[in-house]
Amino acid sequence: MAAKNPQSPNPLSNLDQWDDFIERRYKEGKSESEFRQYDAQANPRVAEFYRNNHEKQTVEYVLSKEKLYFGLTRGEKSIWEAAEYLNTLVDDSDPDTDLTQIEHLLQTSEAIRQDGHPRWMVLVGFIHDLGKCLCLYGEPQWGVVGDTFPVGCAWSDQVVFPQYFRTNPDANVPEFQTKYGMYQPNCGLENVHMSFGHDGYIAEVMKPYLSDEALYMLRFHSFYAWHRQGAYQHLENAKDKAMLEWVRKFNPYDLYSKGHSKPDLKQLKPYYDDLFAEFLPDKISW
Ligand SMILES: [Fe+2]
Ligand SMILES: [Fe+2]
């Protein structure tokens, strides 16, 4: 566990608060107006996080991060090693949470397993947030977690805190401000550059090994404007429309699996050893 040191804040410190914010936003039964109101009254740290995210996720920024990470030149690791790596820095500033990152991953995957979903979906549950290791590579939290959205075309007002896009430098680039921007109508979301974060990164890592359904769950799990709000349909192709139901099927496990009982890693490990071996080689490129 990382020592507490005010001089060098833990890069994963408070990381879970962004997921918690999304969870509270989408609590079942919340009306559209309550949902909007919640955003307006969000705590200042959350507002500041999204202000940074929306202001700094430009086309240029996204392309540079894709170039830096999508070549997967950060070495080879097994899934357990990647999970242990994410575990090296736990959120030691949050008194409400005594769960490690691995325990969070297991809660998601175990909830999926208990509902009788296919084994590949259990795997997705375990790996979906492993891309948060970007924080350990030195990326800022606003560039790793939170809602994602397409860059290079007009921002939808269905993205949380749309007002913060006003100070994004791309607001002054006319070709990025049309409905389709740098894209063709219905070009398909896989051909769209999404704001950079842990979703896109883990999807790239897993691309050689998993099905389209699994990769859509990974790549778009934080794209709430699309899978919850129905925005950006003008960029969707037939494949996106077919995959949407899988992304939606996964979402409740991401949002609501927290707070279940603490998973017993030792007891669960043999199941997960078999699961990883079924779909993935021992070591994969990160
Ligand atoms: Fe995530
Ligand atoms: Fe998650």
Distance 124 CA to ligand 2 centre (A): 10
Q: Determine the Cα angle at 136 with ends 48 and 22, to 5°.
A: 40
Q: Which two tokens stand for residue 177?
A: 């401000």
Distance 76 CA to ligand 2 centre (A): 23
> For the whole model, what pTM was predicted?
0.89
Query: 277, exposed or middle or buried, with CB in 10 Å at 0-12, 13-18, 19+?
Result: exposed
Q: Please tell me the predicted confidence (pLDDT) of residue 39.
A: 64
Which ligand approaches the C-alpha of residue 218 most closely? 1
Which ligand approaches the C-alpha of residue 203 most closely? 1
pLDDT tens, position by position, for the chain (286 residues)?
333 333 344 555 567 777 777 777 776 666 666 655 566 666 788 889 999 999 999 999 999 999 999 999 999 999 999 999 998 865 444 444 567 889 889 999 999 999 999 999 999 999 999 999 999 999 999 999 999 999 999 999 999 999 999 999 999 999 999 999 999 999 999 999 999 999 999 999 999 999 999 999 999 999 999 999 999 999 999 999 999 999 999 999 988 776 667 899 999 999 999 999 999 999 999 9
Q: Please tell me the predicted confidence (pLDDT) of residue 97.
A: 53
Distances (CA, A) of 5 to 10, 15, 138, 195, 204: 8, 17, 17, 31, 34
Domain boundaries, the chain: 16-285
Which ligand approaches the C-alpha of residue 134 most closely? 1
Kindly give, in sequence order, each residue whose CB lies less than 8 Å from that of residue 99, ignoring residues fewer than 6 positions away: 107, 262
Give me the count of residues in the chain. Answer: 286
Sign of the C-alpha dihedral computed for residues 106, 111, 115 and 118 taken in this order: negative
Distance 223 CA to ligand 1 centre (A): 10
Which ligand approaches the C-alpha of residue 220 most closely? 1
Alpha helices in the chain (DSSP H): 16-25, 32-40, 44-56, 59-69, 79-87, 101-114, 119-127, 198-206, 212-220, 224-227, 238-256, 265-279
